[in-house]
Amino acid sequence: MPQVLIIHEVADYPAWKIVFDNAADIRREAGERSYQVLKYDSDPNRIVHFSTWTSHDDARRFFESPRLVEIRRMAGVKAPEFLYLDELEAGVL
């Protein structure tokens, strides 16, 4: 499954989380299948969003859409970095 790793700073995590949660339906419709939200241990407003998608094309189309650019602005997202990844291996130890 194609995966996307997004690293970004937010102005205020609780405010960002409300917008993120409210976008769950549009993320699912766009092709997001699972996600994790993590934070830096040294900065609660530095967020990592790791997600699995139906395809990289679906993810890019969603993340680059004018609608999502506006949602990010409303959520206080600063300079997101997007990494489009393919899993090579996974395991549990």
CB 54 within 8 A of CB 30: no
Per-residue model confidence as pLDDT tens digits over 73-91: 989 999 899 999 999 999 9
Per-residue model confidence as pLDDT tens digits over 1-37: 899 999 999 999 999 999 999 999 999 999 999 999 9
The answer, yes or no, to whether residue 55 has pLDDT greater than 90, is yes
Q: What is the SS3 assignment for 4?
A: strand
Query: Which domains, ranges and CATH numbers included, belong to the chain?
Result: 2-86 (3.30.70.100)
CB 52 within 8 A of CB 32: yes
pTM of the model: 0.90
